[in-house]
């Protein structure tokens, strides 16, 4: 059969504004027709002259398209007979494009070859440029030395030896950054570590993910606080682990309950945020800390210590992490540089024994090969030239003032409606509303006023809790006033 009568001009659309050359568009159109079975193996195509006439293109364009398809093996020239679709292609039945097309937007039946993810993110509402954003505890990117990082990045990318960093560096992270972090963590957290005990990650979440992936397997048991940082809970569940929940009160997680659990059967892992627990912001008391360390040693209980905002402590100096004490190598320490700079700059770290970090860096390579080494080197420079320490000093002072002002404004505008404690550190206040009060409705009313506050639904996974975390660190005085005035009016 010859198919010279097919309406090619309708079947193949040519877009003269496209970046793809026209001969390519024609070639792609023809292969699509072959794939759909509209032209089959052995079919003869119109001569280039006829095709040029049919499809209203220059003949040289058609010749270029045919040559291309011959080179790719789709078409073949048979003697003097003309151009044919290669006979080695399997014969296919035409398939309607609409019914089951590849990534069709109207597919009736979705293929179900993949797992569904149990995590339901909060509903998304459009954010306008003029919206005031109330986050749940993020730094103020406006005061962070982002420009210094970018300038350094630029300088590094002009260096002729930049290739060094790319292929042969350790997957654990840029060597200068690992060294600077080891030194910073030793000075500020008494961790007593060297560079080869630090893994740099694309955000602290990835550090938790890597550590948990290396310890848990389907069916593992992990102790978590209730309430807990929801993205950690969900990631442990995603890895197939069973959550064993332990209560948190004003002194932190209930350590006696942890011991009871270990006595019966030691779980595979404990995830804990001893410093400013998420979401409630409580700090684990010294007494419980000591007891927990004893439990860790006695039961050889592996621990992920998430210390995401250690650097921001306001009342007294921060309490040293579990990882700085005697723990037999069972405590893995996770921290964040994103919390110090801006939530856009994704940088976290994982600290452990040399062997653990070596294994973890191999795992990291399988997940993302490596980070942006020039970015990491630029942040390392911030540590080595002292700018990071100055930035930290300035922001701790600023955020302390903002915390005090924010808590005063909350009391003034919400009065007895809410319960909260002034947090000793971190970037957020944990507010509890009466059971019958709808935070979702408050969030809706604020939204209409141009203020974007989450609706608390991510904390409502426990039935008894009607709370929300409100971030103060990213709000300047004017923004706080605007938020407080709206709260007072709309509550």
Site for a second copy in 372-391 (CB under 8 A): 372-375, 389
Q: How far is the CB of 410 from a second copy (least distance, A)?
A: 20
Q: Interface residues for a second copy in 49-88 (CB under 8 A)?
A: 67-68, 71-74, 86, 88
Whole-angstrom distance, CA of residue 223 vs CA of residue 269? 6
Q: Which is nearer to a second copy, 353 or 421 (CB)?
A: 353
Which span (256-264, 293-301, 442-450, 482-490) binds a second copy, by CB under 8 A? 293-301
Q: Interface residues for a second copy in 436-455 (CB under 8 A)?
A: 452, 454
Q: Interface residues for a second copy in 117-156 (CB under 8 A)?
A: 117, 119-121, 124-125, 127-131, 133, 135-136, 138, 141, 146-147, 150, 153-154
Q: Interface residues for a second copy in 253-292 (CB under 8 A)?
A: 268, 285-287, 290-291
Q: Which is nearer to a second copy, 6 or 22 (CB)?
A: 22
Q: Interface residues for a second copy in 182-241 (CB under 8 A)?
A: 187-188, 190-194, 197, 202-203, 205-206, 209, 214-215, 217-218, 231, 234-235, 238
Q: Which residues of 146-180 are buried (b: 16+ CB within 10 A; e: fewer)?
A: eebbeebbeebeeeeeeeebeeebbbbbbbbbbbb
Q: How far is the CB of 34 from a second copy (least distance, A)?
A: 8
Binding mask of the shown chain, residues 389 to 408, with x at each position contacting a second copy by CB under 8 A: x-------------------
Pick one of 241, 253, 323, 409: the residue that binds a second copy (CB under 8 A): 323
Q: How far is the CB of 194 from a second copy (least distance, A)?
A: 7
Q: How far is the CB of 433 from a second copy (least distance, A)?
A: 21
Q: Which is nearer to a second copy, 373 or 480 (CB)?
A: 373
Q: How far is the CB of 54 from a second copy (least distance, A)?
A: 21
Q: Which is nearer to a second copy, 236 or 433 (CB)?
A: 236
Q: Which is nearer to a second copy, 95 or 412 (CB)?
A: 95
Q: Which is nearer to a second copy, 242 or 291 (CB)?
A: 291
Q: Interface residues for a second copy in 35-54 (CB under 8 A)?
A: 35-36
Size, binding site for a second copy by CB under 8 A? 145
366 part of the interface to a second copy, by CB under 8 A: yes
Q: Interface residues for a second copy in 334-353 (CB under 8 A)?
A: 342-346, 351-353
Token pair 């993020």 is at which residue?
A: 138
Binding mask of the shown chain, residues 174 to 193, with x at each position contacting a second copy by CB under 8 A: -------------xx-xxxx
């Amino acid at each position: 059969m010859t198919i010279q009568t097919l309406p090619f001009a309708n079947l193949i659309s040519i877009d003269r504004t496209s970046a793809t050359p026209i001969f390519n568009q024609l070639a792609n159109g023809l292969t699509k027709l072959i794939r759909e079975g509209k032209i089959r193996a052995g079919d003869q195509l119109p001569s280039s002259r006829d095709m040029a006439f049919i499809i209203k293109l220059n003949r040289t364009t058609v010749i270029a398209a045919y040559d291309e398809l011959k080179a790719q093996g789709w078409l073949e020239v048979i003697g003097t007979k003309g151009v044919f679709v290669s006979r080695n292609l399997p014969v296919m039945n035409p398939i309607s494009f609409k019914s089951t097309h590849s990534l069709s937007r109207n597919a009736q039946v979705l293929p179900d070859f993949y797992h569904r993810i149990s995590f339901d993110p909060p509903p998304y509402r459009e954010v306008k440029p003029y919206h005031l954003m109330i986050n749940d505890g993020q730094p103020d990117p406006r005061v962070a030395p982002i420009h210094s990082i970018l300038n350094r990045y630029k300088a590094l990318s002009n260096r002729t030896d930049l290739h060094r960093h790319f292929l042969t560096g350790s997957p654990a992270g840029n060597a200068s950054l690992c060294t600077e972090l080891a030194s910073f963590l030793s000075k500020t957290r008494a961790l007593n570590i060297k560079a080869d005990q630090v893994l740099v990650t694309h955000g602290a979440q990835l550090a938790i993910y890597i550590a948990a992936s290396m310890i848990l397997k389907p069916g593992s048991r992990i102790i978590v606080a209730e309430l807990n940082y929801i993205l950690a809970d969900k990631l442990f569940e995603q890895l197939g682990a069973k959550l064993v929940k332990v209560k948190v009160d004003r002194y932190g997680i209930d350590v006696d309950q942890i011991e009871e659990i270990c006595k019966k059967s030691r779980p595979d892992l404990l995830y804990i945020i001893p410093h400013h627990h998420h979401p409630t912001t409580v700090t684990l008391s010294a007494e419980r800390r000591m007891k927990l360390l004893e439990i860790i040693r006695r039961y050889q209980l592996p621990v992920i210590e998430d210390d995401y905002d250690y650097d921001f402590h306001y009342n007294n100096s921060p309490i040293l992490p579990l990882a700085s004490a005697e723990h037999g190598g069972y405590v893995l320490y996770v921290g964040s540089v994103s919390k110090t700079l801006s939530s856009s700059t994704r940088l976290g770290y994982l600290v452990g024994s040399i062997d653990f970090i070596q294994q973890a860096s191999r795992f990291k390579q399988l997940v993302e090969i490596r980070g942006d080494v020039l970015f990491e080197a630029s942040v390392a420079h911030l540590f080595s030239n002292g700018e990071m320490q100055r930035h930290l000093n300035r922001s701790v002072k600023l955020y302390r003032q903002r915390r005090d002002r924010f808590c005063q404004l909350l009391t003034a505008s919400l009065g007895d409606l809410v319960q909260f404690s002034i947090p000793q550190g971190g970037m957020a206040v944990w507010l509890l509303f009466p059971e019958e009060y709808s935070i979702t409705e408050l969030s809706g009313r604020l939204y209409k006023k141009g203020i974007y506050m989450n609706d608390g639904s991510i904390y409502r996974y426990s039935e008894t809790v009607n709370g929300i975390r409100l971030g103060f660190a990213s709000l300047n005085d004017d923004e706080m006033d605007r938020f407080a005035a709206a709260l007072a009016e709309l509550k």
